[in-house]
A and B are shown apart, each in its own frame.
Chain A
Amino acid sequence: MGSILSGAEAVAFARSLPGVDAVGLEARAAGLGTRSIKKESKAHAIDLAIGMIDLTTLEGADTPGKVRTLCAKAVRPDGDAPPVAAVCVYPAMAATAAEALKGSGVKVASVATGFPAGQVPLDVRLADTEAAVAAGADEVDMVVNRGAFLAGDLERVFDEIRAVKAACGEARLKVILETGELVTYDNVRRASHLAMHAGADFIKTSTGKVGVNATLPVTLLMMQAVRDFRAATGVQVGVKPAGGIRTTKDAIKYLVCVNEVLGEDWLSPHWFRFGASSLLNDLLMQRQKLTTGHYSGPDYVTVD
C-alpha cells in the first residue's frame, strides 16, 4: 500500500481538488440522517456498530487498572453482544492493553506522535510511534501537523505521515486530521487526500480533545474522499469518526452514510471505526431494549 505520488505531486493534487459546498454537504448529511432504521435492521446496525468501536480512554489519569477494566468490557461488552474492534490508549498503556487483550481478537490501538497536539519534534513523534508498536499496538492513531498544514507547508505534512507510516511497520496507521482545527471542508478534503497518498490505512476525524470533533458532514466528506481515492488508485482506506458520538441514533446515522456512500465494502470493522467511549453503553442499552421490549437504564450496563 502507499502512494504512487511524490510529496510534491500529492500536494499539487490536493491543491487542485475542487471546492466543497458546505451547505450542500451538510444538507446531504442531514438527509442521510433522516433514515429510519427499525427492527431487524436496527438490531443488525447495533451489533455492527459495537464491533466497530475503538473503545477509548485517553486521560492523564489512566492507570493499568482502568485500562484492564476497559479491556474486559471490550472483549465481552454484555451478554452475547460482540466484542468491540479495538481498545485505544496512550502509548504508555499499550503494553497493559496488549496483555489484557491477548488472544481475544480485539486489537490494541495506540495514539502516538505527541498526541493530541503533535507539537513535539518529529524524531520524538517517530520514537513515540515506535514505542507504541513495540509495546504491542496493532494500530497507531497519529495526529497530522495542523500547524504545518495551516501554514501552507503541505509537503511537510505529507513527509511526516510517510515517516510515521514507516515507523509503524506492520501496524495499521490511522491518520487523525483533527478536522475541528482544519476548520474548512476544503482543508479536510485536501488533508484526506494528502494522508491517503502518504500511506494512511485509515483517516480519522478527531482527537476528541478540541471543541469540534466528529460531525456527520465532515465524516461524509471523508467517506467521499476514500471512495474517490479507491476509484483513482485501487487502494481502499478506512474511515474513523471520533469524539462526540454518544448515542445509538448517532452511530446509526454514520452507518447509514457508510452504507449509502461507500457501500458493502466498507461495512466492516476493518474499514470503519467509531472512536468512542460512552457510545458502547448506549448501544448496549438499546440492544437490551430490542431483546426485552422495554427501555433499559444505566444500572443495567457496566460502568467501566
Chain B
Amino acid sequence: MSEQSKPKRTGSKRAAAPARLRVKKTYKLYVGGKFPRSESGRSYAVTGPDGAELANAALASRKDARDAVAAARKAQRPWAGQTAYLRGQILYRAAEMLEGRAGQFAEELAEATGAEPHAALGTVEAAVDRLVHYAGWTDKVASVLGGANPVAGPYFNHTKPEPLGVVAVVAPQDDPLLGLVEAVAPVVATGNTAVVVASEDRPLPAMSFAEVLATSDLPGGVVNLLSGKVAEIAPHLASHADVNGVDLGGVGDEALAAELEAAAAGTLKVVRRPGAGGSSLDRVRRWVEYKTVWHPAGMAAGVGGGY
C-alpha cells in the first residue's frame, strides 16, 4: 500500500513548464457536512485504469466510520422531520448542481474508469436523471407504500413507511458515480441518513459528488462519504450498533459479504445483499419500515352499544 506517497500526476507529458500551474484538488472525506482528512492522517494513491496516478484519496479509518455514523445519527431525526416536499426539493437541487458541473464530472469519470468522454457524460446525465427521479419519490413513498387498513373493529388504522435510521452503503465498485447515486438517493429520499463507502479504487467522482451535496442545501450529516478500503471499514459499519441498515451492493467478495451480513445480524440490521436488483420502488422500500398506528373511532353514548 502506497500510503503517504507523494502525488505524482503524470497526466501531462510536456517537458516545458505550463503557462499556468493547475491548482489541483485535495480529496478529503465528507462527514457531517465538512470535508475533513482522515483522522488517521492516511491517504492512498488513486490510479486510472491505465495505472496513471490521478490523486491521493483520504484513507478512512474505523474511527472516521464511527464519526460518520455519529454525524449521520445526529442528522437523521431532523432530516426525517423535514417535509417530504422539502426533501424532494433538496434532492432536486442536488441534481441541478450535478447538471451544472456535468463537464467536470464527465472528465473525472473518464479518468477514473477509462470511459469515452461522450459515454462518461452520458453516465453523469443519467446520474442527474436518477437524482431527479428519486427527488420525486420523497412525497410519494408514503402514499404508494402506506395506507389505511380496514380493520374489523371501531378503529382508525393506518400504516406509514418510516425511515430505518442510519444506513451504511458500500457503493458499487465499477460505477463510481451513477452507482453511488442509485444507491444513496433512495436511502436519503426516504428520510434515512447515509454513511457511504465510495468505490475503493475509483473514489474520486464520489468525493467530488460530496461537493455537489454540500452546495445543495442538504443538511450536513445526511450523506457522509468515506474513501478507503471496504474490507477495513465495512466490518465496523456492519457491526456498529447505531446503524440500522447495510447496503452490500458494492461488496464483490462473496465471503466478505457473508461476513458483513453475519455481523449485521448482531443488531438485526436490514441488509441489502450484493446483486440485489430491482426497481427504484424496491430500493426505496428496502430502507423503510412500516409503522402502523391504531386509534379508536367512536364517540356517542348509546349508539352501537348493543345493550
Seen from chain A, the residues whose Cβ lies within 8 Å of a Cβ on chain B are 21-24, 26, 29-30, 33, 179-180, 182-185, 187-188, 212, 214-218, 221, 244, 250, 253
Q: Say yes or no: A26 contacts B300, CB within 8 Å.
A: no
B15 interfacial by beta-carbon distance below 8 Å = no
A235 to chain B, nearest CB (A): 25
Q: Which of B185-199 contact A (CB under 8 A)?
A: none
Give the CA-CA distance A184 to B301 in the complex, in Å. Answer: 5
Q: Say yes or no: A23 contacts B297, CB within 8 Å.
A: yes
Q: Say yes or no: B307 contacts A212, CB within 8 Å.
A: no
Q: Say yes or no: A218 contacts B298, CB within 8 Å.
A: no
Give the CA-CA distance A210 to B288 in the complex, in Å. Answer: 52
16 other A-B residue contacts (CB within 8 Å) besides A22-B301, A215-B302, A253-B307:
A21-B296, A22-B298, A23-B155, A24-B296, A33-B307, A180-B301, A180-B302, A182-B301, A184-B300, A184-B301, A187-B301, A212-B303, A215-B306, A217-B301, A221-B301, A244-B307
Hey, which chain A residues are within 8 Å of B302, CB to CB? 179-180, 183, 212, 215, 218
B277 interfacial by beta-carbon distance below 8 Å = no
Considering only CB atoms, which chain B residue lies closest to A221 in the complex? Answer: B301
Q: Say yes or no: A216 contacts B301, CB within 8 Å.
A: no
Give the CA-CA distance A188 to B296 in the complex, in Å. Answer: 19
Give the CA-CA distance A187 to B301 in the complex, in Å. Answer: 9
Give the CA-CA distance A253 to B300 in the complex, in Å. Answer: 21
* Chain B at the A interface: SS class: loop
B154 interfacial by beta-carbon distance below 8 Å = yes
Hey, which chain A residues are within 8 Å of B155, CB to CB? 23
Hey, which chain A residues are within 8 Å of B301, CB to CB? 22, 179-180, 182-185, 187-188, 212, 215, 217-218, 221
A48 to chain B, nearest CB (A): 19
Considering only CB atoms, which chain B residue lies closest to A24 in the complex? Answer: B296
Give the CA-CA distance A250 to B305 in the complex, in Å. Answer: 13
Give the CA-CA distance A215 to B302 in the complex, in Å. Answer: 6
Considering only CB atoms, which chain B residue lies closest to A216 in the complex? Answer: B307
Residue-wise, chain B 271-302 has the 8 Å CB interface mask toward A (1 for contact) of 00000000000000000000000001111111
Which 3 residue pairs of A and B lie closest in terms of their CB atoms, listed nearest first? A23-B296, A212-B302, A22-B298
Considering only CB atoms, which chain A residue lies closest to B295 in the complex? Answer: A23
Hey, which chain B residues are within 8 Å of A218, CB to CB? 301-302, 305
Q: Say yes or no: B300 contacts A22, CB within 8 Å.
A: yes
Considering only CB atoms, which chain B residue lies closest to A244 in the complex? Answer: B307
Hey, which chain A residues are within 8 Å of B300, CB to CB? 22, 183-184
A-B contacts, 13 of them at CB < 8 A, read A22-B299, A30-B306, A33-B307, A183-B300, A183-B301, A183-B302, A184-B300, A187-B301, A188-B301, A212-B303, A215-B307, A217-B307, A253-B307
Give the CA-CA distance A179 to B306 in the complex, in Å. Answer: 15
Hey, which chain A residues are within 8 Å of B305, CB to CB? 26, 29, 215-218
Q: Say yes or no: A22 contacts B296, CB within 8 Å.
A: yes
Considering only CB atoms, which chain B residue lies closest to A250 in the complex? Answer: B307
Hey, which chain A residues are within 8 Å of B299, CB to CB? 22, 184-185
Q: Which of B151-168 contact A (CB under 8 A)?
A: 154-155
Give the CA-CA distance A22 to B302 in the complex, in Å. Answer: 10
Q: Which of B139-156 contact A (CB under 8 A)?
A: 154-155
Hey, which chain B residues are within 8 Å of A22, CB to CB? 296, 298-301
Give the CA-CA distance A179 to B303 in the complex, in Å. Answer: 11
Give the CA-CA distance A24 to B154 in the complex, in Å. Answer: 10
Give the CA-CA distance A212 to B304 in the complex, in Å. Answer: 10
Considering only CB atoms, which chain B residue lies closest to A23 in the complex? Answer: B296
Considering only CB atoms, which chain B residue lies closest to A33 in the complex? Answer: B307
A3 to chain B, nearest CB (A): 24
Residue-wise, chain B 23-35 has the 8 Å CB interface mask toward A (1 for contact) of 0000000000000
Hey, which chain B residues are within 8 Å of A21, CB to CB? 296, 298
Give the CA-CA distance A33 to B307 in the complex, in Å. Answer: 10
Hey, which chain A residues are within 8 Å of B297, CB to CB? 23
Give the CA-CA distance A52 to B157 in the complex, in Å. Answer: 42
Considering only CB atoms, which chain A residue lies closest to B296 in the complex? Answer: A23
Give the CA-CA distance A39 to B139 in the complex, in Å. Answer: 62
